[in-house]
Structure 1
């Protein structure tokens, strides 16, 4: 009997906040979980949807001209990433406001403090705003896009070069020739050189002995260019037939003859390697003296302005 009385007293004196906690969890708590989970799922769905739409539209370009398809796909990839990023920000912002309302916090009451805090953050985060604006114009003006090879000059005359792997409103990510991932804030980019815009140029400098017959050298290079253009595999990478440009450098014991070819974006290196291989073989068959071991070769790129 004494134990029963003690138990009743304990139950009578139990704090009322437990009931409030249970009620809050069953109402506001469930709503918070739903909003948070819904925001995460919605963000994932947006990313999936953008990816599917991009793949679907890309299928329409399978029969298009290679250069048009290349530029279109690169720009569309960058735009899709930005759309997904903006959509996710909007989703999270709506979820955040809804969570505040469920917590009983007046949203209108925090507008003034939020404005002051936003102004302070904006003053201290000018670089972030600068990055976002620069990223917007990079994408809107199609300065470069996913898959392009670019050379970026940054603040302080620092340069970096690589293949664009990601472009967002805030940063550009490059994959360097060494395989390193370089992340560059868009606001720090002072000059962007697109090495694969519209078309590229393979440039091969061929050093030959001073006493060589330049007319014969020119004929051999023309034959190499014609054979390269007729090659089924190389023809898909070329806009026109590779051709010799004449003498570009005269030294004490060598004369440098240049050969150029217009190629698809990013294919100038492959075309240049193939031309060098064909030139060496053609010179060997023609009995022309072996190229010097210390000869220099050059790759340069060009594009429509």
Structure 2
């Protein structure tokens, strides 16, 4: 006899009969409920342990492989450490998300089993949950889309906290990455929250390498040979400077004349840098070029005004 029938039993049977029935139910269905709850808790702990062990093994294996690859390729240790920190951060996020999902699934299954043991007809409940889940899925397509996109971002390690990114709708430094959204701190301090499902393109400026680019507008009356000599001296000086050796990958490349008109000619200086350090290298290049141009008496072009151009 289930719990519903027991509680609805006629009172005429007497308190002793009711107590006997309660005792009988506790020895049958009650024990089943306790076993289900204990089994669910144990299963949850085992699942959490297996998930953490799986991702920990993945992280350790990836770290060893990355160390071997870095040693063979001759990569600097700082880049290798940054990659390891990013991998550890991603694994931590994936572990937390996976444990939460496993806990929810185990909890739902255990709840259905407990209700069944209590004598509740779970068939209509399961059918109702299915219909409700379908309706919720249709109404929450945007959320589901965001979560799937967030899982892909995490699994594929597209961005991580601390990366400087262009997230289509916002640019800045990543402060948080979740399944639903990514938070980006802009240069002016604004914290932007971008839904993962709305992003079509992502530009990450903190991965692999970057390129420092300095474009120069030079007075058209300057001698191009003198300009080339000054820029070549700056390039050689920066490439041989030990203070910048860890941030750049020589050679420093100097372009020819990119464009020329009556007021200016344009040249460009580029150098490959460690990701995220291109802005510091660009500032140093500008400082050195300015000093070299002053010494060689090379003038920069005057700024162009729309009004004067029309006149």
TM over 0.5: yes
SS of 1:246's equivalent in the other structure is coil
Displacement of 1:180 in angstroms is: 2.3
Displacement of 1:197 in angstroms is: 3.6
SS of 2:272's equivalent in the other structure is strand
Aligned with residue 279 of structure 1, among 289, 303, 307: 289
Distance of 1:272 and 1:136 partners within structure 2: 36
Q: 1:271 to 1:52 in 2, by over 3 A?
A: farther
Instruction: Look up the match of 1:89.
Output: 101
SS of 1:236's equivalent in the other structure is coil
1:148 aligns with 2:163: yes
Number of aligned residues: 269
Instruction: Look up the match of 1:170.
Output: 180
Aligned with residue 116 of structure 1, among 105, 109, 131: 131
Displacement of 1:137 in angstroms is: 3.1
Q: 1:136 to 1:75 in 2, by over 3 A?
A: same
Structure of greater relative contact order (alpha carbons < 8 Å, 6+ residues apart) = 1
Normalised by the length of structure 1, the TM-score is: 0.69
1:216 aligns with 2:231: no
SS of 1:179's equivalent in the other structure is coil
Correspondence 1:1-305 to 2 at 5 A: 64=70, 65-66=75-76, 67=79, 70-71=82-83, 73-98=85-110, 104=118, 110-153=125-168, 159-284=169-294, 286-291=295-300, 294=303
Instruction: Look up the match of 1:7.
Output: none
Q: Deviations over 1:202-251 (max 9, x none)?
A: 11012222222222221221221222122223111112221211222324
Q: 1:39 to 1:131 in 2, by over 3 A?
A: same
Distance of 2:172 and 2:56 partners within structure 1: 24
Distance of 2:303 and 2:57 partners within structure 1: 51
Distance of 2:280 and 2:56 partners within structure 1: 30
Distance of 1:232 and 1:97 partners within structure 2: 63
SS of 1:208's equivalent in the other structure is strand
Q: Which runs of 5+ in 2 are unaligned?
A: 1-17, 305-311
